[in-house]
């Protein structure tokens, strides 16, 4: 795998970001289960989403691309066929967990596998509720780890309380609930991103949301729609945080997703004192309506920051942005306390260990205590050699750290960035000066 050398630079300019990965996964999945031709504009073609496309093609769904628009010829809820090969999902936890929900309702068996990293990630949080609904799932350690074999069939609705706030767990149960006779209900301990609920509503599912409770009624007839995927706010977070901590920096991100369950990162930066603002381009969708996704423009420029305290209940809405927030915290006045971030240990790598190790090497005052992270700043970072730990968000966070460090920073094994953001360095090159 390759490495890159980063030198101190500021960020200035205007960019658009690649399509939102989470929304793209759901467009492929729900479009495949709908009747008719779903057209998806601006679909993500990162490695993870391509795994989801390959999986549904293996189950008989025609997915083509013409003039930048993906066309998904949906087969309806019961139109999928048994794949001739096992479904290999690479590094994509979203693909595996959501597809398990779909397969729970199919009357055939199927094997799912992934790479070495995905095979270490916990799947019981999904296989357990799906088993309660009637799916038969086998895998190591009681269906905790891939490879997994699932035999679907007639499902029964359940009322399930998730042990952690997880959009992937919630989505898997809701997708399985489409195949159950009656109402399937999911309650979370905190609000996770709601892209599945919004898209199911758009496609005609009978779904309702009350606070932390989501209810879907089974056997709905999903109808094909046109989906326009906004830019990925999680991908934008690296550049936005970088602009806030790099002297002389000022950037604008256009047409980026501003789903209310995804803007906690922007609000936290504001609370830290960042000069950051955003406005909606489709104001009708900016509120609570469960239709299309809100999108807009975000502006950020360098400004002094103060370290925040991030409580455990905030973690689910910040989970993808926590690595780059750790970088920002090294440049913030005072103490940053990130509490109860254990979910970071269950990602593509142990992101707490990875970020503490890398930032310590660069001279940051950072330590972990269990699942809590304490950072004292501001620290003057120094260039050195750091490791991606084969994790895309760790890699991109360390690139931004390199932009504000003295000297040269070498980040090893950066090919993993293609998992979520194949054009990361092209976008970076348009901003650095």
Q: Residue 178 CA to chain centroid, in angstroms?
A: 23
Per-residue pLDDT at 287 exceeds 60: no
pLDDT at 153: 87
pLDDT at 290: 52
In order of 26, 47, 197, 292, the CA distances from 21 in angstroms are 9, 10, 16, 15
Q: Which helix (H) or strand (E) holds 424?
A: helix 424-429
Question: Predicted confidence band at 283 (pLDDT cuts at 50, 70, 90)?
Answer: low
What does the domain layout of the chain look like in residue ranges?
3-19+230-429, 21-228
Per-residue pLDDT at 395 exceeds 50: yes
pLDDT at 286: 46
Q: In this structure, what token pair is assigned to residue 155?
A: 């499902």
Question: Catalytic amino acids?
Answer: 320
Alpha-carbon distance of 412 to 406, in angstroms, equals 18
Q: Say if 3-19+230-429 and 21-228 have the same CATH topology.
A: yes
Cα–Cα nearest to 171, from 324, 380, 385, 27: 27
Per-residue pLDDT at 347 exceeds 90: no
In this prediction, residues 230-241 reach a mean pLDDT of: 96
Question: Predicted confidence band at 419 (pLDDT cuts at 50, 70, 90)?
Answer: confident
pLDDT at 173: 98
pLDDT tens by residue, 188-214: 999 999 999 999 999 999 999 999 999
The answer to whether the peptide bond before residue 249 is cis (omega within 30 degrees of 0) is no
pLDDT at 348: 83
Question: Predicted confidence band at 83 (pLDDT cuts at 50, 70, 90)?
Answer: very high
pLDDT tens by residue, 360-376: 999 999 999 999 999 99
In this prediction, residues 375-387 reach a mean pLDDT of: 96
In this prediction, residues 208-237 reach a mean pLDDT of: 95
pLDDT at 281: 85
Write down the CATH number for the domain with range 21-228: 3.65.10.10
User: What is the CATH topology of the domain spanning 3-19+230-429?
Assistant: UDP-n-acetylglucosamine1-carboxyvinyl-transferase; Chain (3.65.10)
Q: Residues 239, 241, 247, CA angle at the centre, nearest 5°?
A: 95
**What is the residue-averaged pLDDT of the chain?**
94
Per-residue pLDDT at 1 exceeds 80: no
Give the CA dihedral 106, 110, 113, 119, nearest 10 degrees: 70
Alpha-carbon distance of 388 to 399, in angstroms, equals 10
Q: What percent of the chain has pLDDT over 90?
A: 91
pLDDT at 422: 87
Alpha-carbon distance of 366 to 333, in angstroms, equals 13
What is the per-residue burial (b if ≥16 Cβ within 10 Å, else e) of 230-260?
bbbbbbbbbbbbbbbbbeebbbbbebbbbbe
In this prediction, residues 342-356 reach a mean pLDDT of: 92
pLDDT at 289: 46
């Amino acid at each position: 795998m390759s490495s890159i050398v980063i030198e101190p630079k500021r960020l200035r300019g205007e960019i658009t970001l690649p399509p939102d990965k989470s929304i793209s996964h759901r467009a492929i999945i729900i479009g495949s289960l709908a009747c008719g031709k779903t057209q998806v504009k601006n679909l993500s073609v990162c490695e993870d989403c391509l795994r989801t496309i390959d999986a549904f093609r293996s189950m008989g769904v025609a997915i083509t691309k013409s003039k930048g628009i993906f066309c998904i010829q949906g087969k309806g809820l019961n139109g999928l066929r048994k794949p001739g090969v096992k479904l290999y999902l690479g590094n994509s936890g979203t693909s595996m967990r959501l597809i398990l929900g779909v397969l729970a309702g199919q009357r055939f068996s199927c094997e799912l596998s992934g790479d070495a990293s995905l095979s270490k990630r916990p799947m019981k949080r999904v296989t357990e509720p799906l088993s309660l609904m009637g799916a038969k799932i086998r895998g190591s350690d009681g269906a905790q780890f891939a490879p997994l074999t699932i035999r679907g069939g007639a499902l029964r609705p359940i009322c399930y309380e998730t042990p952690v706030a997880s959009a992937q767990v919630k989505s898997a149960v809701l997708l399985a609930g489409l195949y159950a006779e009656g109402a399937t209900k999911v309650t979370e301990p905190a609000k996770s991103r709601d892209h599945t609920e919004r898209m199911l509503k758009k496609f005609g599912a009978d779904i309702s949301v009350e606070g932390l409770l989501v209810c879907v009624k089974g056997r709905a007839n999903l109808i094909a729609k046109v989906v326009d995927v906004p830019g990925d706010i999680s991908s934008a977070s690296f550049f936005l945080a970088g602009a806030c901590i790099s002297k002389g920096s000022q950037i604008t991100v256009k047409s980026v997703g501003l789903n209310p369950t995804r803007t906690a990162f922007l609000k936290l930066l504001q609370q830290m004192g960042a000069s950051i603002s955003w406005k909606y381009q489709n104001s009708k969708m900016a509120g609570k309506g469960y239709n299309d996704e809100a999108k807009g423009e975000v502006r950020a420029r360098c400004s002094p920051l103060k370290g925040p305290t991030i409580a455990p209940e905030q973690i689910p809405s910040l989970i993808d942005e926590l690595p780059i927030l750790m970088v920002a915290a090294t440049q913030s006045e005072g103490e940053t306390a990130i509490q109860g971030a254990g979910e970071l240990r269950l990602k593509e790598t142990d992101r707490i260990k990875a970020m503490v190790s890398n930032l310590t090497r660069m001279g940051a005052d950072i330590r972990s205590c269990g699942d809590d992270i304490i950072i004292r700043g501001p620290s003057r970072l120094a260039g050195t050699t750091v490791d991606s730990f084969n994790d895309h968000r760790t890699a991109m966070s360390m690139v931004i750290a390199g932009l504000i460090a003295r000297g040269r920073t070498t980040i090893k094994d950066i090919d993993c960035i293609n998992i979520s953001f194949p054009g990361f360095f092209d976008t970076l090159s348009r901003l650095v000066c």
